[in-house]
Structure 1
Amino acid sequence: MKILIVTQYFYPENFKSNDLAFELQKRGHDVTVLTGIPNYPEGKIYDGFGFFKNRKQKINGVKVIRALLLPRGNGGGIRLFLNYFSWAFFASLRSIRLSYSKKFDAVIVHEPSPITQFYPALMVKRIQKTPIYFWVMDLWPESLEIAGGIKNKFVLNFFTKMVQKFYNESEKILITSKGFKKSILQKGNYANKIEYFPNWAEDTISSGNVDYPIPALPSGFKVMFAGNIGEAQDMESIMDTALKLKDSHSNIKFILVGDGRKMPFVQEFIKKHDLQKTVYTLGRFPVEAMASFFKAADVLLVSLKDDPIFNLTVPAKVQAYMSSGKPIMAMLNGEGSQNIKEADCGFAVPAGDSGKLAQVLKNAAQIDEEELNRMGLNGKSFYEKNFKLEECISNLEKIISRK
């Protein structure tokens, strides 16, 4: 099949769109990706790219076309708005030209925020009548209201109507969490369009190089958080947990691998409360390093704020953590917490409950290594049965071929 993937984010940025495109190409499909100039998450255009540099590429056989955008900068509201809409505008123009030069059998929209990524796909559908498969990874306008702090009814109603239009135009609505179904059905009769299409972990994590060089880690019971350090991840509660354990259980070490908008808060909190001996911020590393980091951890920490939209979400790192064969320490609600309990692969406490997390960490630090290994292997087994890349893409091929 000739498949067009529409996404604002693509390699060398680290998103599931990379695996999606490369795996489909590997299976013999002719894959084109319409994307942006890489600038996530730092907000600066990556070295080697620019308005006149590497706008067209071929990566692992995948044709990559990069539309112009305004970089996201420091991630402030106005700059994000301009980033989102500039790409949607220029990518829509590019998709019109593309529609007259190549016929596609299917268009897949990969949608972490923003939802405006749908517009270029809509242009292709208008011209070619090509079916759109909308991979919803972030619920709108809920994420705009809760994560973005937007309360204006006019703005929220505007985006609600936009979402409904996109759902109406979709052949299928692919959801990463079964909890998304309720929100989508509240916006219309889309039951026959919804298909479950969960996240997976990168091969570099599930079967990667555990000898990748990483910094020396502190001794003690290592609690590792890897990934985006943003508003949704509730770093306030994680830091409060570290503060609660600082004096009585200084052997419990929090290791943060990653970066994001909340990193300045984290670093200031560490400094203010003298947590330098129990909380370590290591910064960002390539995904190839994650297998080494995870191997060195005792438990892997995942957290989300206690908000309605996050209670419907399964963070992608849950699957990544499971695939590594390490036990998970979760501070979240909803389907992600249920998955961990069902797999018997770790510990789960309610979102935002730093007191409960501190207590469970104290207990976990006393558990023998054999029991921790058992939980980790349970998670890996659950992952292989439910979330392997190969199985997910095979299911997607079936969905697309049923049109």
Structure 2
Amino acid sequence: MRVGLLTQWYDPEPGPAALPGVLARGLRARGHEVQVLTGFPNYPTGVLADGYTMSRRLDERLDDIDVRRVALYANHDASAVRRFANYASFGASATAFGVGALRGLDALWVNYSPITVAWPMWAARFRLRIPSVVHVLDLWPDTVFAGGFASGGRLSTLLEKGLGAWCRGMYAAASSVAYISPGVGRVLQDRGVPQDKLHYVPMWADEQVFHPSDGNLRAELGIAEDQVVLLYAGALGEAQGLSTLIDACAKVDDPRFVCVIAGSGVAESALRAQAVTIGADNVRFVGRLPQEQMTQLMATGDLNYVGLRTHALSPVTMPSKTQAALAAGRAILVAAEGDVAGVVRESGAGFTAHPEDVAGIADAISAACRLGRPELHRLGAIGRDYYERTFSVDQGVTRIEALLQRAASRRNGR
């Protein structure tokens, strides 16, 4: 088949933005011709990646895959208005300067977030007659309101209704709607998406980065071999509830324990100050590390932390760091409710705690320390086996490939 990917996020952007590239390479490895329509890389800093200069459009070939990049407003700061400008500029630019690259496709995979991708998706569907598989990676319009974009009142109600109708238009135009967690599937069904259109397709990790490794950064970071390391690697924002983690670390009196926090974000300064104020001397901030050190960073930890503060979306949210930790063969401590906690319980790969229960998180950390590093690594191996069965790239590509083939065959049948 000749298939396409429509996604604002793509290589060389790191973290969750790298996952569409994993799919593209997986489909190419199975013999499909792949065309990507995306933006100029600027995630997560809002600064263009090295080697790129913004222009109306750019065609390049990466990993034997054709990539059409279109201009956008590069920004990822905390401003809701500028963030919307980032989303809308890609949608408009992709429609005006990118859709032509999709001509002749058999089927199109659409990264549903942000939903401004609807413009080029609808253009491909109704102008070029290309069927699409919409993959719901973030639940809209819920994401907008959970992020504080609107603060209530009549305007918020109208906005919610308008965005809800927008999303329903995307679902109606799609041949299939894939979802990444059981909770999201239930929400979509409640919102009227037909059951036969819904398909569970959880996200995968970048297995070139996240895999078991003997190399680590303990010596570089000054961490002894007998120390038990709890690692948090990711954005330092409000949604992750990391202030609760720091409070919990201050209550852990095991001298072997150290918490390593890697990453940056809007809450970083406050978190650093909090650790100093409460005397959480076992918490170390190492900043944002380059992507090429991520494999070693994951191997440095014995237990990975996934936190989500309680909000309307937390029961159905599946942070990508969950799959990353499982793929790296590391045990997990999840301080969250809902689907992500269910993964830990089902896999047996770690511990769970309520996201606002400081004592409960501290108890889980202490329990991990009592188990010791060898037993934690055994839990990590259990998690890796679970990842292979549930979240692996091979499983994900197989599921997406089947949905694209289904969409293409229905189109050809008509």
Q: Partner residue of 1:108?
A: 109
Q: Partner residue of 2:314?
A: 310
Q: How does 1:40-119 map onto structure 2 within 5 Å?
A: 40-52=43-55, 55-99=58-102, 102-111=103-112, 113-119=113-119
Q: Does the Cα contact within 8 Å between 1:209 and 1:289 map onto a contact in 2?
A: no
Q: Does residue 368 of the first structure (1) align with residue 372 of the second (2)?
A: yes
Distance 1:79 1:156 in 2: 19
Q: For residues 75-97 of structure 1, give each alpha carbon's deviation from its aligned partner in whole angstroms, at most 9, with x where no partner exists.
A: 31111011111111111112343
Distance 2:173 2:57 in 1: 32
Q: Does residue 197 of the first structure (1) align with residue 198 of the second (2)?
A: no
Q: Does the Cα contact within 8 Å between 1:57 and 1:65 map onto a contact in 2?
A: yes
Q: Partner residue of 1:359?
A: 363
Q: How does 1:101-180 map onto structure 2 within 5 Å?
A: 102-111=103-112, 113-150=113-150, 151=152, 152-180=156-184
Matched positions, count:
397
TM-score normalised per structure 2: 0.90
Q: Would the alpha carbon gap of residues 206 and 39 (structure 1) be closer, same or farther in structure 2, given more than 3 Å must change?
A: closer
Q: For residues 168-190 of structure 1, give each alpha carbon's deviation from its aligned partner in whole angstroms, at most 9, with x where no partner exists.
A: 11111111111101221222142
Q: Partner residue of 2:394?
A: 390
Q: Does residue 283 of the first structure (1) align with residue 290 of the second (2)?
A: no
Q: Does the Cα contact within 8 Å between 1:25 and 1:62 map onto a contact in 2?
A: yes
Q: Does residue 231 of the first structure (1) align with residue 234 of the second (2)?
A: no
Distance 1:394 1:164 in 2: 26
Letter in 2 for 1:264: S
Aligned-pair CA distance for 1:351: 2.3
Q: Does the Cα contact within 8 Å between 2:68 and 2:98 map onto a contact in 1?
A: no
Aligned-pair CA distance for 1:136: 0.7
Name stretches of at least 5 consecutive residues in structure 2 with no aligned partner. Answer: 408-414
Q: Does the Cα contact within 8 Å between 1:135 and 1:173 map onto a contact in 2?
A: yes
Distance 1:58 1:189 in 2: 36
Letter in 2 for 1:107: L
Aligned-pair CA distance for 1:208: 6.1
Percent identity, aligned pairs only? 25
Q: Does residue 267 of the first structure (1) align with residue 272 of the second (2)?
A: yes
Farther-moved stretch of structure 1 (168-177 vs 283-292): 283-292
Distance 1:66 1:177 in 2: 30
Q: Partner residue of 1:258?
A: 263
Letter in 1 for 2:35: T
Name stretches of at least 5 consecutive residues in structure 1 with no aligned partner. Answer: none
Q: Does residue 4 of the first structure (1) align with residue 7 of the second (2)?
A: no
Aligned-pair CA distance for 1:261: 2.7
- What SS does the aligned partner of 2:9 have? coil
Q: Does residue 36 of the first structure (1) align with residue 43 of the second (2)?
A: no
Q: Does the Cα contact within 8 Å between 1:118 and 1:166 map onto a contact in 2?
A: yes
Q: Does residue 332 of the first structure (1) align with residue 325 of the second (2)?
A: no
Q: Would the alpha carbon gap of residues 94 and 80 (structure 1) be closer, same or farther in structure 2, given more than 3 Å must change?
A: same
Q: Does the Cα contact within 8 Å between 1:68 and 1:87 map onto a contact in 2?
A: yes
Q: For residues 305-350 of structure 1, give each alpha carbon's deviation from its aligned partner in whole angstroms, at most 9, with x where no partner exists.
A: 1123121122221121112222111101111111111111110112
- Which one has more relative contact order, counting CA pairs under 8 Å at least 6 apart? 2
Aligned-pair CA distance for 1:352: 2.3
Letter in 2 for 1:243: A
Q: Would the alpha carbon gap of residues 212 and 363 (structure 1) be closer, same or farther in structure 2, given more than 3 Å must change?
A: closer
**Aligned CA-pair RMSD:** 2.1
